[in-house]
Amino acid sequence: MSNDVLEVRNLTCGYERPIIRDVSINAKDGELVALMGPNGAGKSTLIRCILGMAKVFKGFIRINGRDALRMSRREIARLVSYVPQNYVVTYPIEAFHAVLLGRLPYMGLRPSKFDVDVAINAMRRLGIEYLANKMINRLSGGEAQLVHIARAIAQGGVLMLLDEPTSNLDLKHQVMVMEVLSRIAREDGIAVLTAMHDINLALKYADRIYVMHNGRVIAELSPGDVSPSIIEEVYGVKTTVIEHNGRPVVIV
Ligand SMILES: Nc1ncnc2c1ncn2[C@@H]1O[C@H](COP(=O)(O)OP(=O)(O)OP(=O)(O)O)[C@@H](O)[C@H]1O
């Protein structure tokens, strides 16, 4: 049976003032959950709140049943990995060392053999061992994104948060990243929560979708529940939803 890895209840949070209002979401082990909604809806802010990087005014966040608002940064880093939006590393560091950084929450002054093995294994799972000795600031956007995801895998934990992991990627890399994320959720039994804009990718890969608008969650959908009316309500765009190979596909 799946368990709630992430439980957010009646959360009001933001920066100097609230951006997210009265939001309740959850994510279970083995599940890939998409956060969708227009620009400025509050997806990144909600992710930052879960990470303890924004101010919580009301409500609670539980990770593996524990109150996240009372956890230290290191405790959160041992439970939650994070791939930020448009994360560009400009300094020269070998891709392998960038992945090894995922082990920081566990390290003393230097990585153990176990940390090194975990980092190698994370790269292997994504089929990117060949990038190990390349400088990350010289990788393509797609290659670098896979390195950041490998770092998050190496970090371990029970919850992976990603902020638009497929933005800036070509079609092949978009599909590759989403395949990898759904495989990791299933194989490792972790919860993956990802903000994304591509509705058809979300419909193909997400188990559930939360739709955000003006700082609130206005719908929780299974991919099969998506309708032209909800899309028009949120985005103000008329669409057609067809079924293809048993799945809904949105046509603009
Ligand atoms: N550091 C900050 N301080 C104050 N307000 C912020 C900060 N970051 C974001 N905001 C505001 O919070 C609101 C929600 O922004 P957020 O980045 O969470 O939206 P989003 O749904 O992730 O958008 P996008 O799809 O464009 O990435 C916006 O009005 C934005 O201006």
113-125 and 141-155 helices cross at what angle (nearest 10)? 130
Q: How many other CB atoms are there within 10 angstroms of residue 129's CB atom? A: 16
Residues ≥6 apart with Cβ < 8 Å to 240: 228, 250, 251
Give the closest residue (by CA) to ligand 1 atom 5.
15
Backbone angles phi, psi at 233, to 5 degrees: -60, -40
**What CATH number is given to the structural domain containing 120?**
3.40.50.300
Domain extent at residue 219 = 4-251
Using CA atoms, how far apart are residues 55 and 40, in angstroms rounded to an integer? 17
Q: What is the pLDDT of residues 17-58, one digit of tens each?
A: 999 999 999 999 999 999 999 999 999 999 999 999 999 999
Q: What is the pLDDT of residues 186-237, one digit of tens each?
A: 999 999 999 999 999 999 999 999 999 999 999 999 988 898 999 998 889 9
Using CA atoms, how far apart are residues 33 and 167, in angstroms rounded to an integer? 17
Give the closest residue (by CA) to ligand 1 atom 28.
40
Minimum-distance ligand 1 atom for the alpha carbon of 41: 21
Q: ipTM value of the model?
A: 0.97
The tokens describing 220, both together, are 């929780």
Is ligand 1 within 6 A of the CB of residue 15? Answer: yes
Q: How many domains does the chain have?
A: 1
Is ligand 1 within 6 A of the CB of residue 37? Answer: yes
- pLDDT-derived band at 1 (thresholds 50, 70, 90) equals low
